[in-house]
């Protein structure tokens, strides 16, 4: 374990450079395999996907996600298949995403307005923080219809909890790897997980109770007199729970755990992609200018870029792809084998933890990267992120020039974390180039 230093994907890369692209490790008492070449990635999550589509349950993920009642951190089970269908077709499917598009447009407008004010006051902005707030507000509104408005409100609690969960999941918990520490909470992560879940539960219970009261009122009154409005994820999940024709009945814990999964998976990933894209563009001004020319010619200078412009902006899309190649928000896929399997001549037994080092595979520019892992267990948030992230990065290019108070080039190092965060926050001064609101 001492070989897995603070940044696991880099330690895995160093070990694979020394011993080859497929290595076997014992992390404490847990057998692990690390794969680090495009061919092996294809063999494991491509040809043999069904045997490697599970995930190991950790102490923290089990407690936080309501005893593994959710979707993202559970093994490959019939419930996961059922939840995947719901998530793909109803929560993150095209229809819901377009119904909830005004939320994302509104958040983008609010972010640009804030930056215009900062530019006027010539103030520095911590963009790592602002992108995090933006994606957290987007997912809070889409999931629970709450928004952090600066006061001590529900969304503030939700954001602090999201940050705490990311830290807990990002930590290397000895209890998961050393059998005799299984019931001893050496690092205090179990205690933190329990406190976090209990706080999140208070918040979700309050929201669920309010929703159920509204639903009850609707049932007992004239159906048509209450406007349904646009449904958020929790409403959609409550509809599915009430639908007797569903093959599996969702429990209250399933609803809360799925909401929590999407909340977690949708915040840091999108924020990380946005901050790395802008940081790379800052260090590559010629590319920044070329992207701006493209936006000017497609969007013009009188309105703010929108998600619907993105398909017409191939250069911006290429910038996003290159950003995700260099800085994949999920640096390695964490899977577990469900059956004994032979991979490239080596036997991998069932119940082995398998890590696919996407970060290191992507370093080879000849390889066309797949930061979403388009496999059974791949990212269901791809269509949301492919609309949301280029639009926010495009707005930063369209509306502002960016300056640094002292240095000319940005520090691009990483620090440990679940989604490869920047070691140094992205702090820049915006200079208004175009005010799309007139």
Q: Provide the binding-site residues for ligand HEM, judged by CB under 6 A.
A: 71-72, 139, 261-262, 265-266, 269-270, 273, 324, 329-330, 333, 371-373, 375, 377-381, 384-385, 389
CB of 407 to ligand HEM, least distance (A): 27
* Cβ-based neighbours of 228, under 8 Å, separated by 6 or more: none
Q: Is 183 helix (H, G, I), strand (E, B) or coil?
A: coil
Question: What residues are paired with 27 via a beta bridge?
Answer: 30
Question: What residues are paired with 432 via a beta bridge?
Answer: 400
38 exposed, middle or buried (CB, 10 Å; 0-12, 13-18, 19+)? middle
**Residue placing its CB nearer to ligand HEM in the complex, 218 or 367:** 367
Question: What residues are paired with 23 via a beta bridge?
Answer: 34
CB of 350 to ligand HEM, least distance (A): 18
Separation between Cα atoms, residue 171 and residue 189, nearest integer Å: 8
Separation between Cα atoms, residue 432 and residue 400, nearest integer Å: 5
CB of 110 to ligand HEM, least distance (A): 19
**Strand bridging mode 346-348 / 125-126:** unpaired
Secondary element (H or E) of residue 430: strand 427-432
**Residue placing its CB nearer to ligand HEM in the complex, 313 or 389:** 389
**Residue placing its CB nearer to ligand HEM in the complex, 196 or 272:** 272
Secondary element (H or E) of residue 194: helix 189-220
Treating both helix axes as pointing N-terminal to C-terminal, what angle do 127-144 and 101-120 enclose, rounded to 10 degrees?
150
**Residue placing its CB nearer to ligand HEM in the complex, 58 or 118:** 58
**Residue placing its CB nearer to ligand HEM in the complex, 265 or 313:** 265
With CB atoms as reference, the residue minimizing the distance to ligand HEM is 381
**Residue placing its CB nearer to ligand HEM in the complex, 116 or 390:** 390
Separation between Cα atoms, residue 112 and residue 142, nearest integer Å: 20
Query: In this structure, are residues 354 and 331 in contact, taking their beta carbons and an 8 Å threshold?
Result: no
CB of 189 to ligand HEM, least distance (A): 21
Secondary element (H or E) of residue 34: strand 30-35
**Residue placing its CB nearer to ligand HEM in the complex, 116 or 138:** 138
CB of 81 to ligand HEM, least distance (A): 10
Question: What residues are paired with 402 via a beta bridge?
Answer: 430
CB of 159 to ligand HEM, least distance (A): 15
CB of 381 to ligand HEM, least distance (A): 2
Separation between Cα atoms, residue 273 and residue 379, nearest integer Å: 14
CB of 154 to ligand HEM, least distance (A): 19
CB of 262 to ligand HEM, least distance (A): 5
CB of 73 to ligand HEM, least distance (A): 7
**Residue placing its CB nearer to ligand HEM in the complex, 119 or 354:** 354
Could you tell me the two tokens for 242?
């009430």
**Residue placing its CB nearer to ligand HEM in the complex, 21 or 266:** 266
Question: What residues are paired with 430 via a beta bridge?
Answer: 402
157 exposed, middle or buried (CB, 10 Å; 0-12, 13-18, 19+)? middle
**Residue placing its CB nearer to ligand HEM in the complex, 265 or 392:** 265
* Cβ-based neighbours of 392, under 8 Å, separated by 6 or more: 108, 111, 131, 134, 274
């Amino acid at each position: 374990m001492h070989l897995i230093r603070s940044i696991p994907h880099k330690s895995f890369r160093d070990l694979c450079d020394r011993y080859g692209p497929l290595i076997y490790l014992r992390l404490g008492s847990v057998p692990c395999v690390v794969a680090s070449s495009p061919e092996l990635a294809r063999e494991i999550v491509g040809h043999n996907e069904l045997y490697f589509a599970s995930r190991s349950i950790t102490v923290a993920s089990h407690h936080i996600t309501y005893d593994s009642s959710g979707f993202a951190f559970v093994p490959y089970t019939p419930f996961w298949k059922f939840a995947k269908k719901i998530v793909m077709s109803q929560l993150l499917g095209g229809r819901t995403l377009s119904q909830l598009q005004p939320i994302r447009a509104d958040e983008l407008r609010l972010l640009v307005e804030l930056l215009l004010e900062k530019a006027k006051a010539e103030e520095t902005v911590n963009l790592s923080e602002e992108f995090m707030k933006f994606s957290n507000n987007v997912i809070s509104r889409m999931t629970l219809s709450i928004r952090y408005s600066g006061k001590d409100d529900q969304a503030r609690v939700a954001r602090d909890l999201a940050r705490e969960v990311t830290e807990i999941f990002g930590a290397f918990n000895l209890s998961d790897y050393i059998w005799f520490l299984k019931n001893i909470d050496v690092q205090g992560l179990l205690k933190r997980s329990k406190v976090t879940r209990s706080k999140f539960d208070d918040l979700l219970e309050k929201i669920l109770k309010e929703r159920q009261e509204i639903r009850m009122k609707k049932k007992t009154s004239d159906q048509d007199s209450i406007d349904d409005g646009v449904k958020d994820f929790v409403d959609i999940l409550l509809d599915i729970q009430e639908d007797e024709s569903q093959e599996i009945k969702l429990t209250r814990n399933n609803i809360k755990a799925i909401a929590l999964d999407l909340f977690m998976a949708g915040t840091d990933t999108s924020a990380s992609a946005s901050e790395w894209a802008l940081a790379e563009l800052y260090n590559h001004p010629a590319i920044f200018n070329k992207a701006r020319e493209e936006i000017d010619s497609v969007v013009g200078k009188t309105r703010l870029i929108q998600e619907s412009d993105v398909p017409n902006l191939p250069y911006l899309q290429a910038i996003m792809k290159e950003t995700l190649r260099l800085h994949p928000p999920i640096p390695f896929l964490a899977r577990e084998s469900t059956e004994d399997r032979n991979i490239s001549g080596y036997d991998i037994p069932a119940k082995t933890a398998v890590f696919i080092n996407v970060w290191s595979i992507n370093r080879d520019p000849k390889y066309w990267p797949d930061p979403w892992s388009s496999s059974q267990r791949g990212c269901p948030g791809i269509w949301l992120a492919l609309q949301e992230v280029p639009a926010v990065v495009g707005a930063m290019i369209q509306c502002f020039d960016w300056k640094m108070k002292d240095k000319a080039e940005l520090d691009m190092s990483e620090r440990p974390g679940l989604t490869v965060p920047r070691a140094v926050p992205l702090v820049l001064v915006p200079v208004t180039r175009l005010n799309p609101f007139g």
